[in-house]
Every structure is written in C-alpha cells, then in structure tokens.
C-alpha cells in the first residue's frame, strides 16, 4: 500500500478550515502593520542555503540534482529566498520594505510531535532600516501574531547577540569561534562551552546577570544599552510584560543572525515548543550588498497545536441550507431554490443520492447544516418551502421568496 511520506500530513476539511482562519488572521494583522505579501519559489539553488544558514539547516536540506544537473533544494525557510528576491528585483523599492509570506518549508528532520518534514511558516522581513525602532517593530509584530490568534500561554525571550560577542571578546575568545559557541548554547550545552573555552563559571554567571549588571562589567556596554532601548520602545506597543523575558542565552540556531534576536515558546507544548523565532540578520553579503534586514518566522503547525492545547481553536462555520427534494417532480423547483440561495452566497447543498427524508436529514445533521429545506409536491404548488431548523427541530412552511429575502437580510 502506498502511504504518505514520513514527516508529512494530510489535512482534512476541518483542519483546513481552521488553518485558513488563522492564516487570514495573520495576513490581516501583518497588513495592518504595513507589510505586503510576497511569494518566492518552493525550490532554489542549494547554494543559497548552504552559504550562510549554518549546519542545523544544511544537514536537514531536501536537495537533489535536477535534469539539467543543477543542485536544487526545497526551501527549508524563506529568509534567504526573500533576500535573493530582493536583490534580484526589489532593490529599487522604497525603504523600509515590509514583506510577509506564508507557505510550506521542508527539512529532513526526525519527525515527532510538532516536528515535521513539511511544515508551514508564516513570516516577515523588514528590509532597510537598521534602527532600534525597526527591531522593536519586528518584535512587536511577532508578539501580536501570537496574541492575535488568541494564544495566551507563551514566553517571548529577547536578546542581543552583540552582548555575548562582547563578553567573548573581552574574555579573549576568538570571535571566529562564536558560531560553535552559539550552537552549543542553543543546544543548552553550557558546561561544555565553559570547559572547552576555560571560562569556569563566568559564562553562567554572566547569563544570569541583570542587564544593568552586564553594562557595568563590560568594557563596552553599548550592545546592552541598545537592547535596553529596544525594550523601552516595546512599551509603546503595549506588550504585556508577563510574556516578556530578557534572556541573553537566546542565540538562535541559524548563522546569519547578528544583533537583536528573539524566540517565542508555547508553554503547553513538549520538546518542540518554539513556535516563533527571528531577529536582526545579514544575508545581503551573499550577494555583495549591504542591506539591513530583520524578520521572524512563526511555525504555523506548532502554533495550531498550542492553540488546540489551550482549547482556543476557532469555531468551524456551520453550513447553511440542505435541500431535500421529495420526488423527481420537485427537482426543477428545488434547483431554482438552490440557484437563488447560492447566488446570495448562502452555503447551500442539495441531496444528490435520492435518499429518503430520514436519511437525508441525518446527513444534514452530521454535516452541521443550520436548516434542511424539504421540497415536495405541496411546496412546488404553493411556491413555498418547508424549513426544518436543525438545532431546535422546529419546522415551518413559508413562501419561497419570503424565505430567500429573510436569509438575505439575516446573513448578508
Ligand atoms: P527557525 O527558528 O528555523 O527560523 O524557524 C521558525 C519556526 O518554524 C520555528 O520557531 C518553529 O516553530 C518552526 N519550525 C522549524 N522547523 C520545523 C519543523 N521541522 N516542523 C515544524 N515546525 C518547524 C527561521 O526559519 C528563520 N527564517 C526565521 C527568520 C525570518 N529570521 C529572520 N527572518
């Protein structure tokens, strides 16, 4: 038997309706922040991702040689593609350029709950301004994405990689080694880092300090002051402080980040609880351009799992009318009603199986129709329709035109 590939999912109509609603919510929110949607190809030259994204992603690439002998990869994320697209066709657009995207990404990972080989990302990139206000705008939109889909149990951890860079430099650690150190910190291997770089308890102590204390001990406290400025600016956006935590150990798993970074965890998820990650990065250098960019991506699938765990999934829409023609002689009139209701965007279906009234009503009930419309000889004669309210069970017969008018006024 042929089954779906490991790490992929089939999404049924209920799941798709839920996802479309949440997706629309995120699109509307990002639009309200002045962002506009773009779409890049599902596959790119593998080199785009191997140049700078770092081992975590590169080891997980789905890549293959195409018929023209090119090394092609399914995108593991959108950020590198967006900067490539910017370089290819959007450089002349006025700055700041605010872009958002939504679509599937592919990573050859070991599948488990919340970790898939095909998963969806909703993300944004803010290209142009290299200011604390741009970092704050980026973080504020990320926070609002999570808040707007009604998640409540989450933590937003914020850091500035330049603080750790400064600490490493001041402890005579070759800054070239920073990626190795960051990957270890990301994997919570702090003791290993301390041992390997002879830091004793210094690193752990540093990570546990308040920002003011860090400012005091660093020879150059500028990166700490910058982070403080971003945090102050976040107050303008009305972020609820209970969700916010400064955590200098937040280092991200990708190599292109360079400044303020952040991650959001959903408290009720297990091992794969990071639902969003992003920050200030440099990918322009792949193309020899100097351009500031900041963004984030939200793991759509994990966010939905978290919402489900909080019992906050949006309610599914009900269907409106299910027409049950009783006998072939009522077909013509039944289809007339069907056409009229559909033309008014009323979700209307008609029995296609010629089932008896009892069975057809059972179908309407299971499929969450609000009303069943029974159309027999009497209704054809009087130009009426017998409506059964599927919630209350009440039944009444009214004129067809009156019903259509009522429906139009009530639902449109
Ligand atoms: P990332 O942290 O690699 O960042 O991915 C963002 C989010 O995608 C994660 O927080 C997680 O929720 C979700 N995710 C990642 N891998 C999987 C998976 N295998 N299954 C399910 N969900 C997953 C980026 O991709 C950056 N491009 C974010 C960014 C945009 N930075 C700047 N701009």
Question: 223 in ligand 1 pocket by Cβ < 6 Å?
Answer: no
pLDDT at 188 over 80: yes
CA 187/CA 178 separation, integer angstroms: 14
Segment 261-281 shows an average pLDDT of 96
Burial status of residue 72 (CB atoms within 10 A of its CB: 0-12, 13-18, 19 or more): middle
pLDDT given at position 412: 66
pLDDT more than 70, % of the chain: 100
- What's the gap in Å between 100 CA and the centre of ligand 1? 14
pLDDT at 100 over 70: yes
pLDDT at 411 over 80: no
DSSP string, 270-312: -S--EEEEEEEE--GGGGT---EEEEEEEEHHHHHHHHHHTT-
Are 74 and 89 contacting, i.e. CB atoms less than 8 angstroms apart? no
Mean pLDDT of all residues belonging to the chain: 95
Q: Domains in the chain, please, with CATH?
A: 13-310 (3.30.930.10), 319-411 (3.40.50.800)
Q: Residue 261: helix, strand or coil by DSSP?
A: strand
Q: Select the more confidently predicted residue: 271 or 278.
A: 278
User: Which of the listed residues 80, 252, 302 should we mutate to test ligand 1's pocket, taking the one with most ligand atoms within 8 A of CB?
Assistant: 302
Cα within 13 Å of Cα(70), Cβ side: 10
Question: 74 in ligand 1 pocket by Cβ < 6 Å?
Answer: no
- What's the gap in Å between 36 CA and the centre of ligand 1? 20
- What's the gap in Å between 169 CA and the centre of ligand 1? 29
- Give the tens place of pLDDT for each residue, 194-228: 999 888 899 999 999 999 999 999 999 999 999 99
pLDDT given at position 185: 92
- What's the gap in Å between 122 CA and the centre of ligand 1? 9
- Ligand 1 atom with the smallest distance to the CA of 263 is 10
pLDDT given at position 233: 97
- What's the gap in Å between 112 CA and the centre of ligand 1? 15
Are 259 and 280 contacting, i.e. CB atoms less than 8 angstroms apart? yes
pLDDT more than 90, % of the chain: 90
Cα within 13 Å of Cα(200), Cβ side: 2
- Give the tens place of pLDDT for each residue, 340-361: 999 999 999 999 999 999 999 9
Question: 296 in ligand 1 pocket by Cβ < 6 Å?
Answer: yes
């Amino acid at each position: 038997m042929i089954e779906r590939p490991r790490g992929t999912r089939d999404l049924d109509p209920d799941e798709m309706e839920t996802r479309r609603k949440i997706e629309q919510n995120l699109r509307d929110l990002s639009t309200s922040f002045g962002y506009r949607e773009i779409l890049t190809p599902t596959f790119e030259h593998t080199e785009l991702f191997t140049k700078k994204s770092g081992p975590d992603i590169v080891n997980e690439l789905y890549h293959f040689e195409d018929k023209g002998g090119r090394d092609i990869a399914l995108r593991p994320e959108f950020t590198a593609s967006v900067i490539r697209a910017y370089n290819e066709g959007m450089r002349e657009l006025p700055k700041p350029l605010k872009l958002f995207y939504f679509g599937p990404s592919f990573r050859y990972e070991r599948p488990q709950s919340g970790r898939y080989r095909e998963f969806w990302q909703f993300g944004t990139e803010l290209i142009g301004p290299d200011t604390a206000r741009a970092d704050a705008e980026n973080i504020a939109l990320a926070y609002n994405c999570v808040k707007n889909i009604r998640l409540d149990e989450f933590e937003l951890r914020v850091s500035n990689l330049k603080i750790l860079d400064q600490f490493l430099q001041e402890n005579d650690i070759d800054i070239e080694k920073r990626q190795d150190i960051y990957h270890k910190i990301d994997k919570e291997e702090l003791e290993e880092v301390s041992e390997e770089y002879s830091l004793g308890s210094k690193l752990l102590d540093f990570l546990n300090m308040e920002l003011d204390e860090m400012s005091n001990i660093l020879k150059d406290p500028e990166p700490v002051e910058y982070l403080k400025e971003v945090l102050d600016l976040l107050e303008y956006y009305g972020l609820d402080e209970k969700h916010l935590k400064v955590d200098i150990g937040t280092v991200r798993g990708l190599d292109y980040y360079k400044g303020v970074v952040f991650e959001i965890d959903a408290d009720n998820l297990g091992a794969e609880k990071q639902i969003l990650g992003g920050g200030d990065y440099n990918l322009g250098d792949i193309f020899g351009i100097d351009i500031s960019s900041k963004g984030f991506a939200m793991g759509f699938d994990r966010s939905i799992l978290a919402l489900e765990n909080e019992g906050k999934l949006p309610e599914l829409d009900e269907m409106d009318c299910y027409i049950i023609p009783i006998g072939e002689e009522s077909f013509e009139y039944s289809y007339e009603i069907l056409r009229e209701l559909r033309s008014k965007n009323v979700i209307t279906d008609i029995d296609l199986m010629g089932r008896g009234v009892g069975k057809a009503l059972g179908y309407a009930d299971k499929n969450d129709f609000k009303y069943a419309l029974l159309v027999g000889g009497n209704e054809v004669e009087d130009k009426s329709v017998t409506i059964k309210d599927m919630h209350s069970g009440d039944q009444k017969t009214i004129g067809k035109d009156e019903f259509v008018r009522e429906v139009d006024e009530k639902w449109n």
